[in-house]
Amino acid sequence: MVGVLALGSLTACNFDSAVEHNDKVVAIVDKATTTYDAYGKFATETELSELDAIEQKRKETLETEKTYLAELGALKPYNSDDTDLIDAGKEYVQTSIDVLENEEKALLALWANEEISEEEFETQQKELIDAINEKLDTAGDMFDKKQEQFAKDHGYEVEE
C-alpha cells in the first residue's frame, strides 16, 4: 500500500482515472490495515484478565473489516471491466477477516485455557502468531504485487 509516481504517456483523463482508481482501492485497504493493527495492539496491550474486552474488540474489528470488504465490492471496475486491483484488495481484506474468525479467535481461546501446560501454551501461541503473521504478510505482498502490475499496465509506478 504505497503512493503513486506519475510516469508514462497516457492522456490526462485515462491517467487520472487509473491513479484515482488505485487511490480509492488503496485507501480502503489502508483503513482495513489500520483497523486490524489497532486490534492487534489492543490485544497485546490488554491484560489477559480482560479477555472479554479483547473478544469484544475482535468482534468489532471483524464487523468493521466486513464493511471495508463491502466498500471494495461497491467500487466500479476500472475501464468498465478491470477488477484486478479491486479483487486484490478484497482478497487482502478477506484474509484479515479469515484470520480474525479463525486464528485470532483460537488465540483468545488459548489465552482463556487455564488447564494447559506452560510449555504447550507457548508452543500453541507461537504457532498461531506465526500463522497470523504469515497469512497477513502473504496477503500484503500479493496486494502490493497486484498494485504494481496495475500501475505498470496503466503507465505509472507505485512509490515505495
How is residue 130 written as a grid cell?
506465526
For the chain, what percent of residues have pLDDT higher than 70?
89
Q: DSSP string of 93-128?
A: HHHHHHHHHTHHHHHHHHHH-SSS-HHHHHHHHHHH
Looking at domain 11-158, does it have CATH number 1.10.287? no
Q: Write down the pLDDT at residue 6.
A: 37
Looking at beta carbons, which pairs linking 51-56 to residues 24 or more positions away fall under 8 Å? 51/108, 51/111, 51/112, 54/108, 54/111, 55/108
How is residue 6 written as a grid cell?
506519475
- Interval 8-37: pLDDT, tens: 333 333 445 889 999 999 999 999 999 999
Q: Write down the pLDDT at residue 14.
A: 42
Domain boundaries in the chain?
11-158
Residue pair 37/100 in contact by the 8 Å Cβ criterion: no
**Which residues of the chain are under the pLDDT cut of 50?**
1-15
Q: How far apart are CA 80 and CA 141, in angstroms?
A: 26
